Every structure is written in C-alpha cells, then in structure tokens.
A and B are shown apart, each in its own frame.
Chain A
Amino acid sequence: MTEANPPTRRTDPNPDPLPVDEAAAVADRVVENVERVIVGHHDVTEHIVTAILARGHLLLDDVPGVGKTMLARSLARSIDCEFSRVQFTPDLMPTDVTGVNVFDERTREFEFRPGPVFGNVVLADEINRAPPKTQSALLEAMEEAQVTVDGETYKLDQPFTVIATQNDVEADRTYELPIAEIDRFAKRLTLGYPSPEDESEVLRRVTGGHPIEELDAVATAEEVIAARETVADVTAEEAVRDYVTRLANYTRDHADLGVSPRGSIALLRSAQARAVLDGRDYVVPDDVQSEAEAVLAHRVRTGAESAAQSGRELIAEALDSVPVE
C-alpha cells in the first residue's frame, strides 16, 4: 500500500476564508469558553488561540500542576476536535509518538496504528524528559504537519497544534531542547502560579463536578480552518513588515543570537492572527507589539555583552527603542 489511509476523520483542507468579523467571533467564543475552566490566564488563552489561528505550536514553561493539561483539554473541547496527550519519559520511543505499523495476522498485512500525534490538539507533556530522537520525531511532525513511519508518509489532520510543556524543576533529569528546535515553537508562554483570588476561584470551581466535564464545543474544526484562511489573508503593509524586520535586526545587533527569519515570519503571522482577534483585516504595529515577546523572546540568546539579562528584557528593550513609523 502506497497511500496511507486517513486514520481519523479528515476535514476539508481548503475551505473558503471566513469574513473577519466571523473569524473574530469564533476566536472570541473559544477564548471565552476556555476561560470558563481556566481562571486568570486571559492573556495566555488569547495567545494560544492566536497561535492556533497562525498555525503555530506552543511551548509552555512551567512548574507542574498549574493547569497546562486542563488548558489544552478545554481548548480541544471548545473547538470540537481530538485531544491527545503524550507523557514524555526517558524511555519513550519515537514510534510511541508517531504511531507504528502493526502486522495484522488476519490480513497478513502491516497496518498503521497512528500515535498520539494524530490529534488536533496534542499535549506533549514534559517534552524535555524524552531523548532527543523522540523529541525530533515530534518536531518533524510539527514542522511538516505529517509523519513518516517506515517510509510511509501520513498527513496529519488539521487543525493541528502541539502544546508542549517543559519542566524546569528537575533539570538533572532532562534533555534540554536544542535552540534549533525551540525555534520551531511559534510561542513560548508561562502560566505561572495563579493569584490568591484566582486560586480560590479555581478551588471553588472544582468543588462538585469538574467544570471541564460540562464544557461544550463552541466552534467546529472547519470554522477554525476557515478562520486560519482569514488570518492568512490579513493585510500586512510595508510599514508593518518593515517594523518587524527592524525589530528582528535590533535583536541581532544587541544579542549573541538574534531572531531568525523564521522568527520574523512567526511574528508577522501571529500579528495577523492578533489583528483578526481585534476584528481587523490589516495588521497595525500594536499587533506586532502584542505578539513580540511571546514569539521572539525564546529565540534569542543574550550574552555577557548584551545589556539585557534575558530574552524578554531584550525584546522589551527593542519595543521601546525601535521607532514605529
């Protein structure tokens, strides 16, 4: 068999784009819905929704137990699509992620059994605990939106968004992600501990039944795909493109490792998604600024010579100093 069977239900890959206001409405509904479960992370939720609309993947840096899984699950549930989860462990094999060909005794043929990556929202938990080979299997899937097993290539169903988490607590038992791979995540976000008020609200909500069980879908996968088309069509005039370039150049001039062109592309895409979220069919510099930190900060390495202590500081500095024209 040369053509792999679609293992899951497939969606129309090229729907007509939604009008901007409808796309904005879809995004709003999703954000609102997720927030029925997730307390106090409005910004992060919005970032995740824009990342999905911009066809990006996310890296969540966090301590365990702050609601990463719950966030991913509520998101998947809100857009009515498959949610899958892989717990990365040191003994996890690449095929454990991508899927494996299993010999069917009855048909005398190998049958492809898709792995957890064949989901629409994939939560890759503690990605830094798996060996690099396994990590790269996931990263290939993220980049290409397909997996190759035993020479066979399988397209992944759309929408497809990986939400990977890293655990910084037990650094000695992890394989740190190489910079080249980190670059493939559109955004890196941090949830952080909730504020006392938010935390008590969380506690209030979990007493009785867990709210996620009552969560309904507010958008279809088709709508999300159509909204992605809308985002792709958003105008980015030269003034904005130029601004993005100047921001990237600033990081290159002021850090050991600056933002790659891939980073610039991700920033412009995210800004497009942000514009849609705001109900506009054109990008303004404000969109770029809203997305810059999440999209760029993890891509730069500040060295001893840079004034900024961290990627975040450097990006904040760039936003302050690069003139908006």
Chain B
Amino acid sequence: MSADSTPSDASVKNRLSLGDASVSYHHLAVGSLAVLMTTYLSVLFHVTDIVGGTTTLLGLVAATLLAGTLIARRLRPKQAVVLAAVLLALGLVGYYLAVPSAYLVAMSLGKVVSDNVALLTGLSVLRMTEVGAWALGVAPAMVFAPWYLVLRRRYALAVGAAGTAMGFFVLTGDLSSFLTLVGMLAVTATLGFGTLARRGGTPEQVDTLAVVLVAMILLASTVTLVPGGGASPILPGGGGTPTVEDAFVSNGERMSIVGSIRLSPKVRFTVESEEPGYWRVGAYDRYDGNGWIRTGEARDYGPQPAPPGRSRAVEQTVTVKAERMAAMPAMWRPTRLESGDRDNTRVSPLGAFDPVGALREGEQYTVVSRVPDPSERQLRDAGTDYPARIENRYLQLPGSSEDRIRQRTNRVVEAADAETPYEKATAIEGWLESNKSYSLEVSRPDGNIAESFIFEMESGYCTYYATSMVTMLRSQGVPARFAVGYVSGQRVAEDEWVVRGLDSHAWVEVYFPDVGWVRFDPTPGGPREQAESSQIEAARQSNVSNVDTDESEEGTWTPTTTETTTVSGGNETTSPDGNATTVPSTPASGGLGDRQPINPGRGASNETFGGFTTTSGGTVGEEEDDESGGIPIGPPSREQTILGGLVAVGLLAAGRRSGTLERLRRAVWLRWQPREDPETDVSRAFDRLEYLLGREHRERRPGETPREYLTALEETTDLDDRATRVGSIYEQVRYAGDADDGLADEAVSLVDELVSDRRGLLGAR
C-alpha cells in the first residue's frame, strides 16, 4: 500500500465487505479497468472477426496480459513507458509492411496526418484496407500500458491510457454508444475504486460511487428521451424512417442497413442512353454484420481501364433533376467522362465516378461505360484463378456467423448441383428470389443482417437480398461485392429514361477471372416494380410535385418490338411494358401501405399520406418527408415511466446519501411552520431560532439552558433583540405554562422575520 494511505478509524478499510465475502478495492479497480479495456478490445475483436485474425488477436491479448502481470512488479515506470512505445512502434511498422507497396509509394507525411485526422473525425477504422494488420499491431500496446499501470496502482494513469484508446474508437465511430457508456462507467468505477484503494474507504463511499454509476446509467438513458435528442444507446426506437436513398445511394463510405424504408416517387435524374441498364452509383467491399464499408481512398479523375473481358461501349448523358445529387450514376464500368466537370470528379476505390460535393439540379454529364458482355459459356468456364488482391479483399466475412452461413449455402449449392462460381451464383440468386418475399416493411434485426435474413426473416428488400447473396457467395470462396444505384426507370423515349427515387436499388457484383465484375440481382423483379409503379401513381394522384418530367407524364414509350433487357448472364428480365401499365391495378392504399413506417415508437408518422389527400391543391408537394423532427408528446411510455421511477429512486438515494434531502427538509422546516397549539408553536419557533443561531454562531450545548445560551450569545455577539424576545416567550410558555395564542403568534412571526432576514426565501443551507 502506498505511503499516503493512513486509515484513521476502523470503518475506513481497503476492502469492500459484502457479508462474508470481501474484495479489496484494488481488485475492484483492476476489474473495472478490465471492463474498460474490454470495450475497446471488442472493436479490435470485431475488426478481426471481419477480416480474419481473431485467434491471433486473442492470443496476443492474453500473452500481453500475462506478460504485463509478470513483469509489472519488476519493471520501473520509465522502462514501461519505453516498452509500451516500442510495442506501439513495432505494431505500426508491422502494419505498414502489410500495406500494399503501391499505397506506400503514394504516402507522404501530409497524407498520414490527413488520414489520421479523417479517422478521428468519424472515419471507421474498418475503412483501412489492412485493418487486420493494424488491429494486431496496436493491440499489444493498448493492452500493456493500462494493464501495467493499474497493476502498479497508478489508477489515474491507467485510466488515462485506456481512456485514450477508447476515445480513439469513440472518435472513429467504431465504438457503439452503449459500449461507450459501459466504458465511461468503467472509467468512473476504476477511478473511484482506485481512490478508495489508495486512501481507504468506508462503505458509505462505496455507496456514493454506486449512486454515481447508477445516475450515469439513468442519465445516459433518459437524457436522450428529451425531445429533440438523439437515439438512446439503450432504449430501442427513436430516429426517423430513412428513405432508400438515405440508406444507400447517398454514396457514403459506409452504409448501414436499416429497417423499414420509404421510396421517394420524385424524379432524380434522366438518362439518355443507347440501352437501358442499372445506373450504378457505387459499391462496397467490407461487410461488418451491420452494414457495408468501402475501404481505400478515392483518387483524382483519370480515364479508367476497361474490364479485362469482352465489353461494349455505352455512352450515357445524365441530367440531374433532383436538387442535389452526391453521386454520378453510370453503367458499370465507367471509363471516362466525355463532358462534365472532370476537375471536380474523383474515382472511388471500387471504380465509380463521384462528384466532389454534389451535383446541382440541371447539371449534366456524359460518361462512357464499358459494359462487360460475356457469354454464358465464358462465365461457366471462368474458373477460380482469382488474383490475390481480389481474394484478400472480397472474401472477408464476419467470422462469428461464417460457418452457419456456409453450411446453409452448401446445401443450396448442392441442391442445385452447382460447381462453378457461375452456377453457384445463379443457384444462390434463385434460392433467394424464390424463398424470400419482397417488402419494404422490415424491422431491422439485431446482429448480423445476412444471417438473420437467411435464417429467420420472411421478407426484405434489395439491401437484404444483396447482402445475403454476397455473404453466401463469399462463404463459397466466390469474390463478390455489394453495389448500389438505380434500375433503369421509366422509358420515355427510345433513348431516354426517367429515374425516380424509388428506382434506387442494391445488387451484387461477382468477380470472374478474365471477365471482371458481373452483375447479379437476387431481388425478385416483379413485386419490386409493382410497389414502385403503384407509388408513382399514388403520388401523381395526390399531386406531389416533381414526380414527372414533361415526357414521362405523357406515358411510357413503347418500342415496336418487345424489348427484353437481358442482364449479363442473368435470368432476370425486365419488361418495360409491365413497368408502365400496371398502375391502375393496384389501389392507392396499397401504395400507402408500402410507405408506412413501422417504427412502433412513432405513432404519428403515418399521417403523411392523409396529408397529401387533404391538401389536394398540390402546393405543398415538397412535404413528402414526414420527418417533421418533432417528437409527439403524449402520455409517457412504460419505459419512460420505469426510467422516471428509477431516476426518482436514484435521486432520492443520492439525495439522502449526500445530505441534500436532509438539507431540503431542513430548509422547508425552517421556513414553513404549520400552526398547532400555542405551546407546540412556540417550541417549534424556538427550535427554528436555535437552528438559525446554531448556524450563525454556535449550537446550544446539551446542559445549557435557553436563557444561558441566549445570554452567552448576547455577550459575545450582537444578538438580535427579537431573538431575546423569542427566548423569553419560550421560557414563559414552556416553564410558566402561560401558553396563549398571542405569544405564539408573536414568537412565530418574529422567527419568520429572522429567517427571512438572514436566509431569504430560498437561501442556501
């Protein structure tokens, strides 16, 4: 024990006793720190779960903990600092060795700095291409430093070290708010127990610590219930229903999969193209169970190579109709911009063109794409001779669910008697199309999305289909990635398509050696288009603005010969005829049904469509977003009631422990005197006076008579005459039995005056 621990009385101990069991505060602090370390190590664990290396990480952490425990007593702090720095440096060197050399060449000091700034402003570590190597590199230092410090009883420093690590992941956004809360509780507990361990503590102090922790939990879970607050880290609910485009075509580096979505019927852009296609916005390579992440860095614009296999050139001219659009949809694979602002265009790591910032309404660009055009035979014969960079990047799966998905996929593949990657892909595609039904109303499952969709969910929309297909393919060793964009939309002229928000879509790209990325779409086409067209019609009927361009209003252009869009290697056919003519068959209410958000916490939000019909003048078409931002204020929910009760109990406990409650009671007692009989009144008035004087000068000693007390105060201080008078009234009433209402009134009002003179109505203490 350190020198400053000087327990002065028996109740101050270095151990917490609970009945027969007793735990030293030091061990409690170590335990709390372990929890803290667990929070950020869970991020590293999650990372390695996705990219591989979990076993190595666990071994590394265990070895570091063991080594730290063994050498903690022998190593001096300075040596430990050096050791931690060396560990960190070694880990980072290891990481840089793992990074592809092409990337290293491009690296400069400024780039390293800007990368780190990007990380600390919410860029997930998962976006690092070699995040697995990074996680293994930093883990020993992150484990050793806090562990060594806490074993040396340097609690504050240990928390500082661990807190820095946790703070890093908080800033990168990888630590969920729940884990952040747990981490903060662990920080508090470590510091609290550490202090108790150093200075000795009483059971009351442990109580106080417990109250603080409970208050933290309660505040963290209730403050977010305040109207306008963000989502609660503990309670479900909150947040609005996202639109599909919010969900996946804003083209961010990270795409979270959500529950129910709405599809906007507004026109986003028009395309002039020789042929229809999927207007691709971007793709994602890394799947973390909750959503998709695009790793790597965007590059400046430059002409892109064509796919390795046979391809044909398609020129598309896109005119933006939305207010702003942060993407440049084009068929895969875009190779060059014929017109448009090249300086403000970048090339994403997965080959899409992106505007810097966003395109404005009316802006136009022309892009030339090389669309892969393989024959089915080519695809069947493509083989599995994948380049290493493809294998490294597009076969990663969260390890925790990999086996289960693989087993199911094996059955699917075997049932279809599929052997080549192409056969596997079509088998999986077919299985998903036929076994899951299409619906926009989905409550987002907890945990791994793909696993839930494959094994539990009955229905979902494109994101779920595509995500599941990618994971199933990867489990079979077939490189695949998740792509988002728009389907071709409404054909309004021979070479013109109108694309609306509800055309947004997600699909799968599968890599074939010597062919490149080939599109597969596991989402059933029919139901999706039905939902789409019925919504357009519904929106038209309610005069939502911007549903149509001039051409699209006039109806869909029908080619003289039935045109069939054949997806490369695909078995999906899209009939533009059906697209246009199914409108009346679905009543408007059906469309409404699709739009309804399901979030049970927000009963008010399904009013939107009613709003449309009543304001049929059509001037407020813009108001399609029903996310008004306000939270309906109604009677508190059960959770709120329970939480409110918990808060009240916690506050009461804290109040009692801190004496606040007693002070409050005292303050009320001092200011408010209910009247009873004169004797009681006078006695209480005198008690109040005594309390007042006790606070101001000194308390009356036990054997001291009221008279002695007041006389003594009179001699040593300038005692108020009113106090003397109250004293004599008290004496008279108490000892002479002269209780009458007049005296009682006088005494009470004198004391009231004295109290308000000294304390005011709300004075402290």
A positions within 8 Å CB-CB of B? 235, 237, 239-240, 280-286, 289, 318-324
Bound together, the chains give a CA A93 to CA B737 distance in angstroms of 50
B734 within 8 Å of A (CB atoms) = yes
B274 within 8 Å of A (CB atoms) = no
Query: Which residues of the partner chain B approach A284 to less than 8 Å between Cβ atoms?
Result: 705, 707, 731, 735
Q: List 18 A-B contacts (CB under 8 A).
A: A235-B735, A235-B736, A237-B734, A237-B735, A239-B734, A239-B735, A280-B736, A282-B732, A282-B735, A285-B707, A286-B705, A289-B703, A289-B705, A318-B703, A320-B702, A322-B702, A324-B705, A324-B706
- Min CB gap B688→A, angstroms: 16
Which of B706, B732, B735 counts the most A-chain CB atoms under 10 A from its CB? Answer: B735
B708 within 8 Å of A (CB atoms) = yes
Q: Is the CB of A286 within 8 A of B703?
A: no
Q: Is the CB of A321 within 8 A of B735?
A: no
- Min CB gap B725→A, angstroms: 16
B377 within 8 Å of A (CB atoms) = no
Q: Is the CB of A237 within 8 A of B704?
A: no
A235-B737, A239-B735 as given contacts; A321 in contact with B705, CB under 8 Å: no
A284-B707, A284-B731 as given contacts; A237 in contact with B736, CB under 8 Å: yes
B411 within 8 Å of A (CB atoms) = no
Bound together, the chains give a CA A240 to CA B734 distance in angstroms of 9
Count, chain B residues at interface, CB 8 A: 14
B701 within 8 Å of A (CB atoms) = yes
Smallest Cβ-Cβ distance to A325: which chain B residue: B734
Q: Is the CB of B736 within 8 A of A285?
A: no
Bound together, the chains give a CA A283 to CA B737 distance in angstroms of 10
Query: Which residues of the partner chain A approach B737 to less than 8 Å between Cβ atoms?
Result: 235, 237, 282
Bound together, the chains give a CA A323 to CA B690 distance in angstroms of 14
Query: Which residues of the partner chain A approach B708 to less than 8 Å between Cβ atoms?
Result: 286, 289
Smallest Cβ-Cβ distance to A239: which chain B residue: B734
Query: Which residues of the partner chain B approach A281 to less than 8 Å between Cβ atoms?
Result: 736
Q: Is the CB of A286 within 8 A of B707?
A: yes
- Min CB gap A250→B, angstroms: 10
Interface residues of B in 692-709 (CB under 8 A from A): 701-708
B positions within 8 Å CB-CB of A? 701-708, 731-732, 734-737
Q: Is the CB of A320 within 8 A of B703?
A: yes
Candidates A235, A282, A318, A324; contact of B704 at CB < 8 Å: A324
Label chain B's interface by main secondary structure.
helix
A284-B731, A286-B708 as given contacts; A321 in contact with B703, CB under 8 Å: yes
Smallest Cβ-Cβ distance to B701: which chain A residue: A320
- Min CB gap A31→B, angstroms: 21
Seed contacts A235-B737, A237-B736; 20 additional CB < 8 Å A-B pairs: A235-B735, A237-B735, A239-B734, A239-B735, A240-B735, A282-B735, A282-B737, A283-B735, A284-B705, A284-B707, A284-B731, A284-B735, A285-B705, A285-B735, A286-B708, A289-B705, A289-B708, A318-B703, A320-B703, A321-B703
- Min CB gap B395→A, angstroms: 85
Query: Which residues of the partner chain B approach A286 to less than 8 Å between Cβ atoms?
Result: 705, 707-708
Bound together, the chains give a CA A285 to CA B700 distance in angstroms of 14
Query: Which residues of the partner chain A approach B702 to less than 8 Å between Cβ atoms?
Result: 320-324
Bound together, the chains give a CA A17 to CA B702 distance in angstroms of 36
Bound together, the chains give a CA A193 to CA B732 distance in angstroms of 40
Bound together, the chains give a CA A320 to CA B708 distance in angstroms of 12
Closest 8 CB pairs of A and B: A282-B736, A323-B702, A285-B705, A320-B703, A284-B735, A286-B705, A324-B705, A319-B703
Bound together, the chains give a CA A61 to CA B701 distance in angstroms of 32
Query: Which residues of the partner chain A approach B731 to less than 8 Å between Cβ atoms?
Result: 284
Bound together, the chains give a CA A1 to CA B707 distance in angstroms of 57
Smallest Cβ-Cβ distance to B700: which chain A residue: A324
Bound together, the chains give a CA A232 to CA B706 distance in angstroms of 24
- Min CB gap B678→A, angstroms: 14
Bound together, the chains give a CA A174 to CA B470 distance in angstroms of 120
Smallest Cβ-Cβ distance to A280: which chain B residue: B736
Bound together, the chains give a CA A282 to CA B703 distance in angstroms of 20
Query: Which residues of the partner chain A approach B705 to less than 8 Å between Cβ atoms?
Result: 284-286, 289, 324
Smallest Cβ-Cβ distance to A284: which chain B residue: B735
Query: Which residues of the partner chain A approach B703 to less than 8 Å between Cβ atoms?
Result: 289, 318-324
Smallest Cβ-Cβ distance to B731: which chain A residue: A284
Query: Which residues of the partner chain A approach B732 to less than 8 Å between Cβ atoms?
Result: 282
Query: Which residues of the partner chain A approach B701 to less than 8 Å between Cβ atoms?
Result: 320
Query: Which residues of the partner chain B approach A283 to less than 8 Å between Cβ atoms?
Result: 735
Smallest Cβ-Cβ distance to A281: which chain B residue: B736
- Min CB gap A271→B, angstroms: 11
Bound together, the chains give a CA A324 to CA B686 distance in angstroms of 13
Bound together, the chains give a CA A302 to CA B737 distance in angstroms of 36
Bound together, the chains give a CA A321 to CA B704 distance in angstroms of 9
- Min CB gap B734→A, angstroms: 5
Bound together, the chains give a CA A62 to CA B736 distance in angstroms of 38
Bound together, the chains give a CA A284 to CA B706 distance in angstroms of 9
- Min CB gap B353→A, angstroms: 90
Query: Which residues of the partner chain B approach A323 to less than 8 Å between Cβ atoms?
Result: 702-703
Bound together, the chains give a CA A55 to CA B708 distance in angstroms of 28
- Min CB gap A244→B, angstroms: 12
Bound together, the chains give a CA A53 to CA B734 distance in angstroms of 25
Bound together, the chains give a CA A239 to CA B734 distance in angstroms of 7
Query: Which residues of the partner chain A approach B707 to less than 8 Å between Cβ atoms?
Result: 284-286
- Min CB gap B668→A, angstroms: 24
Query: Which residues of the partner chain B approach A319 to less than 8 Å between Cβ atoms?
Result: 703
Bound together, the chains give a CA A318 to CA B702 distance in angstroms of 10
Bound together, the chains give a CA A41 to CA B240 distance in angstroms of 94
Which of A280, A282, A318 counts the most B-chain CB atoms under 10 A from its CB? Answer: A282
- Min CB gap A238→B, angstroms: 9
Query: Which residues of the partner chain B approach A280 to less than 8 Å between Cβ atoms?
Result: 736
- Min CB gap B726→A, angstroms: 15
Bound together, the chains give a CA A280 to CA B703 distance in angstroms of 22
- Min CB gap A142→B, angstroms: 31
Smallest Cβ-Cβ distance to B704: which chain A residue: A324
Bound together, the chains give a CA A281 to CA B738 distance in angstroms of 11
- Min CB gap A20→B, angstroms: 11
Smallest Cβ-Cβ distance to B734: which chain A residue: A239
Smallest Cβ-Cβ distance to B737: which chain A residue: A237
Query: Which residues of the partner chain A approach B736 to less than 8 Å between Cβ atoms?
Result: 235, 237, 280-282
Smallest Cβ-Cβ distance to B708: which chain A residue: A286
Query: Which residues of the partner chain B approach A235 to less than 8 Å between Cβ atoms?
Result: 735-737
Bound together, the chains give a CA A289 to CA B706 distance in angstroms of 12
Query: Which residues of the partner chain B approach A239 to less than 8 Å between Cβ atoms?
Result: 734-735
- Min CB gap A239→B, angstroms: 5
Smallest Cβ-Cβ distance to B738: which chain A residue: A282
- Min CB gap B189→A, angstroms: 44
- Min CB gap A55→B, angstroms: 22
- Min CB gap B169→A, angstroms: 62
- Min CB gap B106→A, angstroms: 86
Which of B706, B708, B732, B734 counts the most A-chain CB atoms under 10 A from its CB? Answer: B734
Bound together, the chains give a CA A235 to CA B732 distance in angstroms of 11
Query: Which residues of the partner chain B approach A320 to less than 8 Å between Cβ atoms?
Result: 701-703
Bound together, the chains give a CA A324 to CA B734 distance in angstroms of 12
Query: Which residues of the partner chain B approach A240 to less than 8 Å between Cβ atoms?
Result: 735
Smallest Cβ-Cβ distance to B707: which chain A residue: A286
Query: Which residues of the partner chain B approach A282 to less than 8 Å between Cβ atoms?
Result: 732, 735-737
Bound together, the chains give a CA A250 to CA B462 distance in angstroms of 90
Bound together, the chains give a CA A323 to CA B708 distance in angstroms of 13
Bound together, the chains give a CA A289 to CA B701 distance in angstroms of 14
Query: Which residues of the partner chain A approach B704 to less than 8 Å between Cβ atoms?
Result: 324
Smallest Cβ-Cβ distance to A322: which chain B residue: B703
Bound together, the chains give a CA A134 to CA B218 distance in angstroms of 87
- Min CB gap A109→B, angstroms: 55
Smallest Cβ-Cβ distance to B736: which chain A residue: A282
Bound together, the chains give a CA A239 to CA B703 distance in angstroms of 14
Query: Which residues of the partner chain B approach A237 to less than 8 Å between Cβ atoms?
Result: 734-737
Bound together, the chains give a CA A161 to CA B705 distance in angstroms of 31
- Min CB gap A180→B, angstroms: 30
Smallest Cβ-Cβ distance to B732: which chain A residue: A282
Smallest Cβ-Cβ distance to A282: which chain B residue: B736
Smallest Cβ-Cβ distance to A320: which chain B residue: B703
Smallest Cβ-Cβ distance to A238: which chain B residue: B737
